């Protein structure tokens, strides 16, 4: 329903902002500037940021690198999947390949040792989720994502794919074994020279 008799006023429709409006604008502007400043600050200071290195990589070249990595440090095979178990020396560059629908290889790491974990895919996008921890990374074909990691807990962990990658997505479960510091010397001797 329209009421008659109210015609919009022509001429000056603009009125100076009310005082409370100015106050809110000022508060909003200051808050915008705070958030703006926090973007770079978080990046530099925040503990949540990955200490990653990124590089382009050809998927075929990455696959070859992974095969070489397996050939260098393989210590066995996963009894269920047949996927090679690889025990690289502490401090080394280690490689994990995402593909439809598996993670290659099984990594056997030492607790407290530092590694540079390279992640890439040879086909489509996958998601690296280290279960049961809140560790999530995109695994993208054509990109090598290198993460400096130090396993702090010993155990037998799973890598879950959390990026939908086709009919076998739910079957894409990988494995990371972290050997405790107490037993790592014996494991290193079986894994190191072979
Ligand atoms: Cu790989 Cu989902």
- pLDDT tens per residue across span 14-61: 778 899 999 999 999 999 999 999 888 887 877 666 667 888 999 999
Q: How confident is the model at residue 188 (pLDDT cuts 50, 70, 90)?
A: very low
Q: Closest Cα to residue 78, out of 104, 102, 106?
A: 106
Ligand 1 atom showing the smallest separation from residue 99 Cα: 1
How far apart (Å, rounded) are the C-alpha atoms in residues 52 and 54? 6
- As a whole number, mean pLDDT of residues 70-98 equals 94
> What residues flank ligand 1, with Cβ below 6 Å?
101, 126, 161, 163-165, 169, 172
pLDDT greater than 90 at residue 158:
yes
Q: Write down the pLDDT at residue 135.
A: 85
Helix residue ranges per DSSP H, the chain = 19-45, 59-73, 184-192
pLDDT greater than 60 at residue 100:
yes
């Amino acid at each position: 329903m329209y009421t008659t008799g109210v015609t919009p006023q022509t001429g000056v429709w603009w009125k100076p902002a009310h005082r409370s409006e100015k106050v809110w604008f000022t508060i909003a502007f200051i808050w915008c500037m705070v958030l703006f400043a926090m973007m770079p600050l978080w990046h530099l200071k925040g503990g949540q940021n990955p200490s990653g290195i990124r590089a382009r990589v050809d998927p075929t070249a990455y696959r070859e690198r992974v095969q070489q990595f397996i050939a260098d440090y393989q210590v066995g095979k996963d009894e269920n999947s047949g996927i090679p178990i690889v025990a690289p020396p502490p401090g080394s560059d280690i490689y994990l390949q995402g593909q439809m629908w598996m993670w290659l290889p099984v990594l056997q790491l030492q607790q407290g040792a530092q590694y540079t974990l390279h992640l890439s895919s040879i086909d489509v996008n996958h998601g690296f989720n280290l279960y049961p921890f809140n560790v999530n990374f995109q695994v993208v074909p054509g990109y090598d994502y290198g993460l400096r990691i130090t396993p702090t807990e010993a155990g037998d962990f799973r890598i879950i794919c959390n990026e939908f990658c086709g009919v076998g997505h739910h079957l894409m479960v990988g494995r990371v074994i972290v050997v405790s510091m107490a037993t790592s010397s014996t494991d290193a001797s079986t894994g190191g020279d072979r």
